[in-house]
Chains A and B, each alone.
Chain A
Amino acid sequence: MKIHLLLAGLAIGASALYEDQVGKFDWRQQYVGCPTQVQIDRRGKLDRYIVSTAENVVASLSMNTGDIVWRKVQEDVGNKEPKHPLVFSGQKNVICSVSESGKMVRLWAKRDGGFVGQQLLGTVESSHAPFVTTTADTCLVLSHNRAIALSLKDASKLWEVELRKSDWVAARAFDGGFAIVGGLKENNEVHVKWVDTKGMQTLNKILDVNAFNPQKVAFTGSHLVGFWDSTVYALNILSDGPDMKIEAKGVAETVFETFALTSENFVAIRTKSRVHVLDVIKGFSKVFSLPSEAEAVSEYVNKEGKRFLASVHGNRLSLYQVDGDKELLKDVVFDSELKRAPAKQLIIGGGDKEWEFLVIGADCRTDHVVADITVKKAALEWTREEGLTRIGSVELLDLPLSESQAAIETEFAVDEKNILASFAHRIFSQLDQFKKLIARSADTALELALNMKQMKSGSFSDLLNSVRQSARKSHSGGQPLERDVFNLRKLIVATSLGGSIYALDNQDGTVVWRRYIGADIQGFETIEGKTKIPILVQRTTAFYNFDAQIVVAYKRNGIGHLLFLNPVNGKEVDHQTVDNARRIDLLPFVDGDHLHHVITVDRTNQVSIYPKLSADAIEKAPPVHLFDVNSVNGKVTGYRLDLTTNRLTETWAHQLPHWEDSTVVAIAGKPASERTHSQGRVLADRSVLYKYVNPNLIAVGLLAKSAPQLNIHLFDSVTGQIVHSARLPKVTAPVYMVHCENWVAYAYWTEKGRRTEIGILELFEGDEQQHVETFDSEEPLKRPLHVEQASFIFSQGISSMAVTETEQGASNRAILVSLPFGNIFEVNRRILDPLRPMELTPEMREEGGFIPYMPEIPIATEEMLNYNQTVHHVNGIKTAPSGLESTSLVFVYGLDLFYTRATPSGNFDVLKDDFDHILICIVLAALFIGSYVCRKLARNKALQQQWA
């Protein structure tokens, strides 16, 4: 039995990669996330940025290339931003980072990111934003209203001091210990505490402020600087005794923001028009005012103690010397792109002639700019698209037809009225195609000849290699965006919750275009609790005489927006606003322009359609139904859409059972494009069990809280009939669900077994097919459904689940599961099958293809789609069909992006990857030539023999 299983496993796992195929079909891009804190590390030869990000990552980036030197991924924060971002502080060798809103402190070696130690501070999130500061040997963390000092050697706790309740804290080290300052909004108080290096309190003071607001304070050097309305106040926390008092001063304009500068005793305030630098010690006297508007301002003190101030506005950068009031750079353009996101943060790397800057945009784009102050020019050295770490939705789109494919389309596009004219047209277009073919092959031949000329040694293997290389070169990179033969090349369009839309080339992941919509946008919250910026494909590129069109839906200030775009170049086509949209979807039919119309349904069930439907289209439209799950009262309602009046008429309604203490964890329908090739399952006795493929079937997963259990309801959204219900007791989150063809797969954590399990539920009509030609939901089922169910132990955790998709749906399906340690695992449906027999009978053995039931899903490393290219914090997996039936394209997104091809049934329709066309061609040609030459030689020889 064991051997059988092993053999079956081997047969399925035969799709693993070879070593030389690594990186051939797949790519991975590693990101760090949206930077929140950046430090410059200039020790030794390699200059680096140390960044901490909203995605709970501490990383070191090379200043020269922007590559990740080291990256430490900490706890997954999911799709949402954590309550408080990760903060860190570093001395010469060690970084001390506080992650998970103050729960955990970790120490890292600065140069190589080596782990030094860690300390758990609490199991709940800190109420205030944590603060961390370091001295040569101590790391002081302020979190959970406590001050904790840790040794930088091994993260052991040195001492701990209770603080007064506060919602803002900061600290500064001085010779005798630490000065800790905190503030509480509700009491309008600021308290200062001095602690010596042994943890003994030396000073404790509470001061009153007129209006304390944790959002309106900054900490610079030894000063706490805050403001209300048009008043600025400051407190020197290092002044002893009676000197410690809050000084306030009114300024002419309303203050919007204060921010800390690097040099002590100076602070910058932003008023409506300008940014001013004030000297706190000299009674808030204005030291410097920026002459123009600025999105982000930063200060830098060079080795000689000179202070510089830089500002960014749009794509322009300015640099001023504060002391001499000199203007070093004035509105120097560093990026040709005009529609940039406003800068959120600016970091100055300094320099003598060539200054380095890091500009972090509101869409998390991170640009490294080098500016020459003598020639007054700036250039973008590298860019990291960190916005791609927060993807709200992804679509894989076909590329437009290539020139030759479009030529073939036009060749047949002529109306058939005049035979002679169409004949002439075909002849001419074919001549044109032939001409192009000749030109192309001449180009390749020329390239080949050039390559050969360059080659020094003339061995056969070198020749083969050069031919192969030139063949490969013409296949990748630098090509125009057009469809390839097998439609494997696609455009990945992704929306970022950071406020941008990206289009990536699926061959190498390069950004084809990027469009910034606004950092102030929000996604739509789904009932399951996910945030999405949906992308809907209105028209694919299949029609050469129409441009493709997509629509991106997002919210700004609570109002929904629909942005209509051409996905190939990112140009805006149209823009609409919608109010209170509960649902944004595409109508399942097209009008005369092959365009799927967008339908939105608002809270009052008002329907809007963009663009308006023509009367002709309304007449021809098939019946369209909708369903709605009310998250407040647990009512499920079905509606029928009336296109003439744009109204919804309720057709059915029922209450979800056990709604009161349940949450909806999954609502899964089936996309209209999904195809099921095989209508049944063949059993061991060669009879057929017909599948119940109901395109209107919806699966709803409900997780009950008090008595932990998972309820799965399958209902027909047209009639409201509950087709099947399943109850799994003692099941808790996380639950993932995939609904496809006639089955539903669901992963869950079972309390009873204390493990992750994957269950599968498959619906059959029985041995007679009821829905042969048409599937009408209104038609009642003649016989009760045959439901097969099984569950399997999955020995790993699961962080995301998806199913492969192929063009005709004839290949086996596979379920793609992302594992928390960074791998993507492919579970074939043959393994995850409720019809796996308990025991193999002789007939089954004879028929073959049956794998006996085994409670575990074997996890083989060959079936890891991403071999050693681990991806972290996976948010979702997107699959798309390619032109090859065997191949499904897989795009995994999260902190890292990973793209590959999956072949769940093996590569049955393509030659092996190492099939050597060139060698075979050469051998064939050599044989032909050889036989010709030999015939001639043989004839000559025969003639000579006769003469002899």
Chain B
Amino acid sequence: MSLSQWRIDSSHASRAARTADSAAYSPPGFSNVGQTVQHHVEAEQSSDQQEHLMKKRAWDVAMGPGKSLPMNMFMMYMAGRSISIFPIMMVAMMLWRPLKALFSVNSTFKPLEHESTGSLLPHKLVFLLGNCGVVALAIYKIHTMGLLPNYDSDWLEFVPEARRIQYTLVGDLFV
């Protein structure tokens, strides 16, 4: 406690010093103007590149789920049809991730929103389709594992007993 009774804020001081003397201490022959021009040119160039990159990145993001489809297919093939903890976990993850992604389309594309990239609607659509594809793959996998109640046999226990219309007396017949 006693040590922190006073202190020097060096960062604060140095910044003040730098801003104060930035113009005065320029070396001879140094032109601030030229530099800005060059900077301008470079900025123009880089903003083009940036735009391109942004678009590319947006498409990358949009195509991501679609691209992972073959890989997922292979994984599912490898997982097998037996119902045990690991295949179940894998399938559940496979179902869960795209579902989560489906509900966060806007937040996924939020960092890519820029006037340069323009409308992201097609990207979002592709992204949606890709995710849907993965979900469909997962559901197909669940189906092949027999976990989907889509057979009559799965609903058999809910079929009620038929009500009888007529009654018959079935007691013993005596001689």
Query: A717's closest neighbor in chain B, by CB?
Result: B168
Choose the segment among B4-12, B40-48, B87-95, B145-153 that binds chain A (4+ C-beta atoms closer than 8 Å).
Answer: B145-153
The answer to whether A696 touches B164 (Cβ under 8 A) is yes
The answer to whether B174 touches A776 (Cβ under 8 A) is no
The answer to whether B152 touches A695 (Cβ under 8 A) is no
Write the A61-102 contact mask toward B (1 if CB under 8 angstroms, else 0): 000000000000000000000000000000000000000000
On whether A527 and B174 interact (CB within 8 A), knowing A678-B156, A687-B151, the answer reads yes
Shortest Cβ distance from residue A742 to the other chain B in the assembled complex, whole angstroms: 12
On whether A718 and B166 interact (CB within 8 A), knowing A526-B175, A686-B146, A687-B151, the answer reads yes
* B115, CB-defined interface residue at 8 Å: no
Residues of chain A within 8 A of B164, CB atoms compared? 695-696, 774-775
- 136-174 of chain B: CB within 8 A of chain A: 146, 151-154, 156-157, 159-174
Residues of chain A within 8 A of B123, CB atoms compared? none
Determine the distance from Cα of A9 to Cα of B50 in the docked complex, in whole angstroms: 72
Determine the distance from Cα of A775 to Cα of B170 in the docked complex, in whole angstroms: 17
Determine the distance from Cα of A626 to Cα of B146 in the docked complex, in whole angstroms: 47
Determine the distance from Cα of A532 to Cα of B154 in the docked complex, in whole angstroms: 45
Determine the distance from Cα of A534 to Cα of B173 in the docked complex, in whole angstroms: 11
List the 3 closest pairs (A to B, CB-CB), nearest first: A669-B170, A585-B171, A588-B167
Shortest Cβ distance from residue B174 to the other chain A in the assembled complex, whole angstroms: 4
Q: A695's contact among B146, B156, B157, B168, by CB below 8 Å, is which?
A: B168
* A769, CB-defined interface residue at 8 Å: yes
Known contacts A588-B167, A676-B161, A777-B165, then 11 further A-B pairs from the complex at CB < 8 Å, ordered by chain A residue: A583-B174, A670-B170, A672-B167, A679-B161, A686-B153, A693-B162, A695-B167, A717-B170, A718-B168, A773-B162, A777-B166
* A730, CB-defined interface residue at 8 Å: no
The answer to whether A625 touches B162 (Cβ under 8 A) is no
The answer to whether B170 touches A698 (Cβ under 8 A) is yes
Q: A669's contact among B157, B168, B175, by CB below 8 Å, is which?
A: B168
The answer to whether A628 touches B81 (Cβ under 8 A) is no
* A114, CB-defined interface residue at 8 Å: no
* A914, CB-defined interface residue at 8 Å: no
Q: Can you report 6 A-B residue pairs in the complex whose CB atoms are below 8 A from each other?
A: A527-B173, A583-B174, A622-B167, A623-B165, A625-B169, A696-B167
Shortest Cβ distance from residue B149 to the other chain A in the assembled complex, whole angstroms: 10
The answer to whether A677 touches B157 (Cβ under 8 A) is yes
The answer to whether A599 touches B169 (Cβ under 8 A) is yes
* A849, CB-defined interface residue at 8 Å: no
Q: B153's contact among A582, A625, A682, by CB below 8 Å, is which?
A: A682
Write the A286-314 contact mask toward B (1 if CB under 8 angstroms, else 0): 00000000000000000000000000000
Q: B152's contact among A628, A629, A688, A718, by CB below 8 Å, is which?
A: A688
Determine the distance from Cα of A625 to Cα of B160 in the docked complex, in whole angstroms: 24
Determine the distance from Cα of A663 to Cα of B130 in the docked complex, in whole angstroms: 74
Write the A602-635 contact mask toward B (1 if CB under 8 angstroms, else 0): 0000000000000000000011111111010000
| Residue of A671, A675, A771 ringed by the most chain B CB atoms within 10 A | A771
* A846, CB-defined interface residue at 8 Å: yes
* A743, CB-defined interface residue at 8 Å: no
Residues of chain B within 8 A of A624, CB atoms compared? 166-169
* A524, CB-defined interface residue at 8 Å: yes
* A342, CB-defined interface residue at 8 Å: no
- 35-79 of chain B: CB within 8 A of chain A: none
Residues of chain B within 8 A of A525, CB atoms compared? 174-175
Determine the distance from Cα of A263 to Cα of B62 in the docked complex, in whole angstroms: 117
Write the A774-799 contact mask toward B (1 if CB under 8 angstroms, else 0): 11111000000000000000000000
The answer to whether B156 touches A774 (Cβ under 8 A) is no
Shortest Cβ distance from residue A595 to the other chain B in the assembled complex, whole angstroms: 16
The answer to whether A626 touches B169 (Cβ under 8 A) is yes
Residues of chain B within 8 A of A536, CB atoms compared? 171
Shortest Cβ distance from residue A771 to the other chain B in the assembled complex, whole angstroms: 5
The answer to whether A628 touches B153 (Cβ under 8 A) is no
The answer to whether A696 touches B172 (Cβ under 8 A) is no
Residues of chain A within 8 A of B81, CB atoms compared? 846
The answer to whether B168 touches A698 (Cβ under 8 A) is yes
Number of B positions contacting A (CB below 8 A): 25
The answer to whether A774 touches B162 (Cβ under 8 A) is yes
Residues of chain B within 8 A of A534, CB atoms compared? 171-172
* A499, CB-defined interface residue at 8 Å: no
Determine the distance from Cα of A440 to Cα of B91 in the docked complex, in whole angstroms: 54
Q: B156's contact among A530, A588, A682, A717, by CB below 8 Å, is which?
A: A682
The answer to whether A631 touches B175 (Cβ under 8 A) is yes
Residues of chain B within 8 A of A588, CB atoms compared? 167, 169
Shortest Cβ distance from residue A663 to the other chain B in the assembled complex, whole angstroms: 12
* A581, CB-defined interface residue at 8 Å: yes
Shortest Cβ distance from residue A831 to the other chain B in the assembled complex, whole angstroms: 22
On whether A583 and B175 interact (CB within 8 A), knowing A693-B162, A771-B162, the answer reads no
* A772, CB-defined interface residue at 8 Å: yes
Residues of chain B within 8 A of A631, CB atoms compared? 175
Shortest Cβ distance from residue B167 to the other chain A in the assembled complex, whole angstroms: 4
Residues of chain B within 8 A of A677, CB atoms compared? 157, 161
Q: A688's contact among B156, B167, B172, B174, by CB below 8 Å, is which?
A: B156
Query: A526's closest neighbor in chain B, by CB?
Result: B172
| Residue of A679, A687, A778 ringed by the most chain B CB atoms within 10 A | A679
The answer to whether A626 touches B168 (Cβ under 8 A) is yes
The answer to whether B173 touches A667 (Cβ under 8 A) is yes
Shortest Cβ distance from residue A556 to the other chain B in the assembled complex, whole angstroms: 15
Shortest Cβ distance from residue B165 to the other chain A in the assembled complex, whole angstroms: 4
The answer to whether B156 touches A532 (Cβ under 8 A) is no
* A584, CB-defined interface residue at 8 Å: yes
Query: B163's closest neighbor in chain A, by CB?
Result: A774
Determine the distance from Cα of A530 to Cα of B174 in the docked complex, in whole angstroms: 9
Write the A791-833 contact mask toward B (1 if CB under 8 angstroms, else 0): 0000000000000000000000000000000000000000000
Shortest Cβ distance from residue B82 to the other chain A in the assembled complex, whole angstroms: 8
The answer to whether B174 touches A526 (Cβ under 8 A) is yes
Determine the distance from Cα of A671 to Cα of B171 in the docked complex, in whole angstroms: 8
Residues of chain B within 8 A of A894, CB atoms compared? none
| Residue of B151, B159, B163, B172 ringed by the most chain A CB atoms within 10 A | B172
The answer to whether B165 touches A679 (Cβ under 8 A) is no
Determine the distance from Cα of A14 to Cα of B173 in the docked complex, in whole angstroms: 40
| Residue of B151, B165, B169 ringed by the most chain A CB atoms within 10 A | B169
Residues of chain B within 8 A of A688, CB atoms compared? 151-153, 156
The answer to whether A583 touches B165 (Cβ under 8 A) is no
Shortest Cβ distance from residue B141 to the other chain A in the assembled complex, whole angstroms: 15
* A881, CB-defined interface residue at 8 Å: no
The answer to whether A776 touches B171 (Cβ under 8 A) is no
Residues of chain A within 8 A of B168, CB atoms compared? 624-627, 669, 695-696, 698, 717-718
* A387, CB-defined interface residue at 8 Å: no
Residues of chain B within 8 A of A675, CB atoms compared? 161
* A226, CB-defined interface residue at 8 Å: no
The answer to whether B175 touches A687 (Cβ under 8 A) is no
Residues of chain B within 8 A of A777, CB atoms compared? 165-166
Determine the distance from Cα of A663 to Cα of B40 in the docked complex, in whole angstroms: 114
Shortest Cβ distance from residue A621 to the other chain B in the assembled complex, whole angstroms: 9
Query: A638's closest neighbor in chain B, by CB?
Result: B168
Query: A523's closest neighbor in chain B, by CB?
Result: B174
Q: A773's contact among B156, B163, B169, by CB below 8 Å, is which?
A: B163
Query: B153's closest neighbor in chain A, by CB?
Result: A682
* A680, CB-defined interface residue at 8 Å: yes
Residues of chain B within 8 A of A584, CB atoms compared? 171, 174
Q: B173's contact among A526, A678, A773, by CB below 8 Å, is which?
A: A526
Residues of chain B within 8 A of A847, CB atoms compared? 146
Determine the distance from Cα of A624 to Cα of B163 in the docked complex, in whole angstroms: 15
Shortest Cβ distance from residue A574 to the other chain B in the assembled complex, whole angstroms: 20
The answer to whether A696 touches B156 (Cβ under 8 A) is no
Shortest Cβ distance from residue B136 to the other chain A in the assembled complex, whole angstroms: 21
Determine the distance from Cα of A622 to Cα of B163 in the docked complex, in whole angstroms: 12
| Residue of B151, B161, B163, B168 ringed by the most chain A CB atoms within 10 A | B168
Shortest Cβ distance from residue A630 to the other chain B in the assembled complex, whole angstroms: 9
